[in-house]
Structure 1
C-alpha cells in the first residue's frame, strides 16, 4: 500500500482508534508494507496531515495523534509543529503536560470511533 494513499492509511488509523490503542510510526509503516526510514516517515506525516484536515472538515476527531514514537509513546515533532495552532499548546513536546494533551486527544478519537465501529 502506498504511504501517500490517505484512504489506506486512514483505515489503519480507524482500526487502531476502534481498538483503543496507538500505533508507532514503525508499526504503521510496516502495515503499509514498508520498513521504517526517516524519508518514509516524513512522507507518512504528509499523508497524516491530509487525513486530519479531512477529519476536521467532517467534524471528526483527529487521527494523526494516534501515531507515536516507540521511545516515549508521543507524536513526533511534525505533529507538534503542525498542531500548535489548533491546540495552542506552548509547553514542551515531552513530559507530563504533553502526555496529558495526547491522552485527551487520543481518548476523543477512541471514544468516537469505538461508538461507530463497535471497538
Structure 2
C-alpha cells in the first residue's frame, strides 16, 4: 500500500463516515501504516484529491472533509486552497467558529449519506 492508493484511503474514509466521525491526519496515516510527517501528510493530501474526484464522479459527497487537524478539528489549508469551501458557496474564514460550523454541516451530509448507504448494504 502506498499513500497514492486512493482505494485504500477511500475505504478508511467510508468506514469513518459510516461510523459518523472524522479522522485526524495522524490517525488516517496510522491506519494506513505510517507515522506522521509533513511529507507523508502532503502525499496523503494529493491522494485525498483523487478520492474526492472519484466520489464526485459517482455522485457521492466528498470524503476529504473528514480529514482534520487534531488541534481544531478543521481541514488543513490544502483542503481550503483546493476550493473546498468555495465549492459549497462558503467564503468565510478557514478557522474559528464560522469555519467549524460550516465543516460540521458538510461532514454531517457525508455521515448521513454513508450511514444510509451502509444500512442499505447490511439491511
For the criterion TM > 0.5, the same-fold answer is: yes
- Runs of 4 or more, structure 1, over 4 Å off, are none
Aligned to 1:32: 32
Moved more, 76-85 or 66-75: 76-85
Tell me, in whole angstroms, the C-alpha distance in 1 between the residues paired with 2:37 and 2:87. 28
Alignment of 1:33-112 (within 5 A): 33-82=33-82, 83-112=84-113
Tell me, in whole angstroms, the C-alpha distance in 1 between the residues paired with 2:85 and 2:68. 17
Aligned residues, how many?
A: 119
Deviation readout 1:52-101 (Å, 9 max, x if unpaired): 11111111000000000000000000001112441232211111111111
Q: What is the aligned-residue RMSD (CA, Å)?
A: 1.3
Aligned to 1:18: 18
Tell me, in whole angstroms, the C-alpha distance in 1 between the residues paired with 2:67 and 2:115. 17
Gaps of at least 5 residues in structure 2 are none
Tell me, in whole angstroms, the C-alpha distance in 2 between the residues paired with 1:25 and 1:11. 15
Gaps of at least 5 residues in structure 1 are none
- TM-score, length basis structure 2: 0.92
Tell me, in whole angstroms, the C-alpha distance in 2 between the residues paired with 1:97 and 1:57. 29
- TM-score, length basis structure 1: 0.95
The alignment partner of 1:71 has SS state of coil
1:6 aligns with 2:6: yes
